[in-house]
């Protein structure tokens, strides 16, 4: 069964500083990897995905993520954080072949300090 | 295009009562998913429809939960009778295809069983 670990409950970063949200995964075979963001009182919003190809994936709002197969990681990054990036971030994985079930991490609360 | 919509946004019921949640997917999306997040825990998969057929219902917790998607359009998730542990946020998602396509999530229904 697939699973995701997001080791930090909360990530605090000063506005303008680089933001990193960590994610490691476990899946049988090759993975499809996703990042979602949830703003207060809103649903999950798709940010980016890794399917195949380049390990560095670019997504919405200046976010990017790097797939590292040997470390089974898919960390989310943004070069310069904005206060408006404060939200709950979820990493998710599903297998390349087989079921379509997304397995989510428990989420990371990101707080960007002005 | 309109996003995934869910109704109601919030429901408070007593233990033993019945509740029906509704999800309207994005138009043209054949794949529809239900997920649940119990307070403080990961978002967990419940089931997956392809059109009106249940493709995968391995995440349904027990037979008190019944999901339907008549006509392959909107879906309902009925909980009967509700128990305290059913409290949480129920998310619906839809996708156009079932391979690499990302799933688009609705805002969720917050269910509170007292």
Residue in A42, A90, A106 closest to B107 by CB: A42
Chain centre distance of CA B23:
7
Output the pLDDT for position B39. 84
Query: Would you list the domain boundaries of chain B?
Result: 5-96
Q: Which domain holds residue A32?
A: 3-113
Q: How far apart are CA A96 and CA A33, in angstroms?
A: 9
- CATH code for the domain of A59: 2.60.40.10
Output the pLDDT for position B99. 66
pLDDT tens figures, A9-35 = 899 999 999 999 999 999 998 999 999
pLDDT tens figures, B54-108 = 999 999 999 999 999 988 899 999 999 999 999 999 999 999 876 657 899 999 9
How many angstroms separate the CA of residue B108 from the nearest CA in chain A?
Answer: 6
For domain B5-96, the CATH superfamily is: Immunoglobulins (2.60.40.10)
Is the bond into B81 cis (omega within 30 degrees of 0)?
A: yes
Output the pLDDT for position A76. 98
Contact between B53 and B43 (Cβ < 8 Å)? no
Output the pLDDT for position B41. 87
Provide the number of structural domains found in chain A.
1
Query: CB distance A106–B105 less than 8 Å?
Result: no
Q: How far apart are CA A11 and CA B82, in angstroms?
A: 36
Residue in A90, A101, A106 closest to B56 by CB: A101
């Amino acid at each position: 069964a697939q699973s995701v670990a997001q080791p930090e409950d909360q990530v605090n970063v000063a506005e303008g500083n680089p933001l990193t949200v960590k994610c490691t995964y476990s899946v049988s075979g090759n993975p499809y990897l996703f990042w979602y963001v949830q703003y207060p009182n809103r649903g999950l919003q798709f940010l980016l995905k890794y399917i195949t190809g380049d390990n560095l994936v670019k997504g919405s709002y200046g976010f990017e993520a790097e797939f590292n197969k040997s470390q089974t990681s898919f960390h989310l990054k943004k070069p310069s954080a904005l206060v408006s990036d404060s939200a709950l971030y979820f990493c998710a994985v599903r297998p390349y072949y087989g079921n379509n079930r997304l397995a989510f991490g428990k989420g990371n609360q990101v707080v960007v300090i002005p | 295009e309109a996003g995934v919509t869910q109704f109601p946004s919030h429901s408070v019921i007593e233990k033993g009562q019945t509740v029906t949640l509704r999800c309207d997917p994005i138009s043209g999306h054949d794949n529809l998913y239900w997920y649940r997040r119990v307070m403080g825990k990961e978002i967990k998969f419940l089931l997956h429809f392809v059109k009106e057929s249940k493709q995968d219902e391995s995440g349904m917790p027990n037979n008190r939960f019944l999901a339907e998607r008549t006509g392959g359009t909107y879906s309902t998730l009925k909980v009967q009778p509700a128990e305290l542990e059913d409290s949480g946020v129920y998310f619906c998602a839809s996708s156009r295809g079932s391979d690499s396509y990302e799933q688009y999530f609705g805002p969720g229904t917050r269910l509170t069983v007292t």
